[in-house]
Chain A
Amino acid sequence: MTKKNVFLILILLVLACALPFVVSNYRTFQLTLVLVYAIALLGLNILTGYSGQISLGHGAFYALGAYCAAILMDKAGVPYWATVPAAGAVCFVAGFLFGLPALRLEGLYLALATFALGVAMPQLLKYHHLEKWTGGVQGIVIPKPEAPFGLPLNADQWLYFFTLAVMLAMFVLGWNLLRGRVGRALTAIRDHAIAAEAMGVHNALYKSTAFGVSALYTGVAGALGAIAVQFVAPDSFNIFLSIVFLVGIVVGGLASISGALYGALFIQFVPNIADEISKAAPWAVFGVFMIGFVYLMPTGVAGAVRLLSARRRTP
Chain B
Amino acid sequence: MDAFLHQVLAGLATGGIYASLALALVMIYQATHLVNFAQGEMAMFATYLGWSLLNAGVPYWPAFLLTIGIAFVAGIVIERVVVRPVENSPVLAIVVVFIALLVILNSVAGWIYTYTLKSFPSPFPPQAAFKYMSPHEIGAIGITLVVLAALYAFFRFTPLGLAMRAAAQNPESARLVGIRVGWMLALGWGLAAAIGAVAGMMVAPIVYLDPNMMGGVLLYAFAAALVGGIDSPGGAVLGGFLVGVLENVLGAFVIGNELKLSVALVLIVGVLLVRPSGFFGKVHVTRV
Partner-B contacts on A (CB < 8 A) = 48, 54, 56, 101-102, 104-105, 107-109, 111-113, 115-117, 119-120, 123-124, 126-128, 194, 198, 243, 246-247, 250, 254, 278, 280-284, 286-288, 290-291, 294-295, 298
Do the beta carbons of A291 and B219 come within 8 Å of each other? Answer: no
Given contacts A113-B272, A280-B111, A283-B104, whether A124 and B85 have CB atoms under 8 Å apart is no
User: Please, which residue of chain A has its CB at the minimum distance from the CB of B226?
Assistant: A112
Q: Is B160 an interface residue (CB 8 A)?
A: no
Do the beta carbons of A101 and B91 come within 8 Å of each other? Answer: no
Interface pairs (15), CB distance under 8 Å: A48-B92, A101-B273, A112-B272, A113-B268, A115-B219, A120-B264, A123-B260, A126-B258, A284-B103, A284-B108, A287-B102, A290-B103, A291-B82, A291-B97, A295-B85
Do the beta carbons of A112 and B99 come within 8 Å of each other? Answer: no
Given contacts A107-B91, A108-B34, A116-B219, whether A287 and B259 have CB atoms under 8 Å apart is no
* Residues 179-202 (chain B) with a chain A CB within 8 angstroms: none
Given contacts A101-B269, A280-B111, A283-B104, whether A194 and B288 have CB atoms under 8 Å apart is yes
* A127 / chain B contacts, CB cutoff of 8 Å: 258-259
Per-position 1/0 for B97-129, Cβ under 8 A of A: 101111110111011000000000000000000
Which of B96, B268, B272 counts the most chain A CB atoms within 10 A?
B96
* B222 / chain A contacts, CB cutoff of 8 Å: 112, 115-116
Which of A104, A290, A294 counts the most chain B CB atoms within 10 A?
A294
* B102 / chain A contacts, CB cutoff of 8 Å: 287
* A286 / chain B contacts, CB cutoff of 8 Å: 103
- Chain A nearest CB: distance from B25 CB in Å? 10
Q: Is B35 an interface residue (CB 8 A)?
A: yes
Given contacts A247-B96, A294-B93, whether A119 and B35 have CB atoms under 8 Å apart is no
Do the beta carbons of B107 and A281 come within 8 Å of each other? Answer: yes
Q: Is B86 an interface residue (CB 8 A)?
A: yes
* A284 / chain B contacts, CB cutoff of 8 Å: 103-104, 107-108, 111
Q: Apart from A115-B219, A283-B107, what are 10 other A-B pairs with CB-CB below 8 Å?
A: A109-B35, A112-B268, A116-B265, A126-B258, A194-B286, A243-B103, A283-B103, A284-B107, A287-B102, A290-B103
Q: Is B89 an interface residue (CB 8 A)?
A: yes
Contact with A120, one of B37, B261, B276 (Cβ below 8 angstroms): B261
* A128 / chain B contacts, CB cutoff of 8 Å: 258
Do the beta carbons of B219 and A119 come within 8 Å of each other? Answer: yes
Do the beta carbons of A298 and B89 come within 8 Å of each other? Answer: yes
- Docked pose: A194 CA to B268 CA in angstroms: 25
- Docked pose: A284 CA to B211 CA in angstroms: 13
Given contacts A111-B95, A116-B219, A120-B261, whether A291 and B269 have CB atoms under 8 Å apart is no
User: Please, which residue of chain A has its CB at the minimum distance from the CB of B101?
Assistant: A287
- Docked pose: A198 CA to B288 CA in angstroms: 10
- Docked pose: A312 CA to B70 CA in angstroms: 50
Which of A101, A104, A123, A128 counts the most chain B CB atoms within 10 A?
A123
Per-position 1/0 for B247-258, Cβ under 8 A of A: 000000000001
Do the beta carbons of B95 and A56 come within 8 Å of each other? Answer: yes
Label chain B's interface by main secondary structure.
helix
Do the beta carbons of B268 and A116 come within 8 Å of each other? Answer: yes
- Chain B nearest CB: distance from A278 CB in Å? 8
Q: Is B170 an interface residue (CB 8 A)?
A: no
Q: Is B158 an interface residue (CB 8 A)?
A: no
Which of B95, B100, B264, B273 counts the most chain A CB atoms within 10 A?
B100
Given contacts A116-B265, A120-B262, A298-B93, whether A111 and B35 have CB atoms under 8 Å apart is yes
* A291 / chain B contacts, CB cutoff of 8 Å: 82, 96-97, 100-101, 104
Do the beta carbons of B272 and A288 come within 8 Å of each other? Answer: no
- Docked pose: A120 CA to B220 CA in angstroms: 11
| Nearest 7 CB-CB pairings of A with B | A284-B107, A287-B104, A290-B100, A281-B107, A287-B100, A280-B111, A120-B261
- Chain A nearest CB: distance from B196 CB in Å? 18
- Chain A nearest CB: distance from B218 CB in Å? 8
- Docked pose: A282 CA to B96 CA in angstroms: 17
Do the beta carbons of B108 and A281 come within 8 Å of each other? Answer: yes
Do the beta carbons of A108 and B103 come within 8 Å of each other? Answer: no
Given contacts A280-B111, A291-B82, whether A104 and B100 have CB atoms under 8 Å apart is no
User: Please, which residue of chain A has its CB at the minimum distance from the CB of B114?
Assistant: A280
Do the beta carbons of A124 and B276 come within 8 Å of each other? Answer: no
Do the beta carbons of A113 and B269 come within 8 Å of each other? Answer: yes
- Chain A nearest CB: distance from B29 CB in Å? 9
Do the beta carbons of B99 and A290 come within 8 Å of each other? Answer: yes
- Docked pose: A283 CA to B85 CA in angstroms: 22
- Docked pose: A247 CA to B223 CA in angstroms: 25
Do the beta carbons of B91 and A108 come within 8 Å of each other? Answer: yes
Given contacts A101-B269, A127-B258, A281-B107, whether A109 and B276 have CB atoms under 8 Å apart is yes
* B103 / chain A contacts, CB cutoff of 8 Å: 243, 283-284, 286-287, 290
* A281 / chain B contacts, CB cutoff of 8 Å: 107-108, 110-111
Do the beta carbons of B92 and A254 come within 8 Å of each other? Answer: yes
Do the beta carbons of B265 and A117 come within 8 Å of each other? Answer: yes
* A294 / chain B contacts, CB cutoff of 8 Å: 86, 89, 93, 96-97, 100
User: Please, which residue of chain B has its CB at the minimum distance from the CB of A274?
Assistant: B107
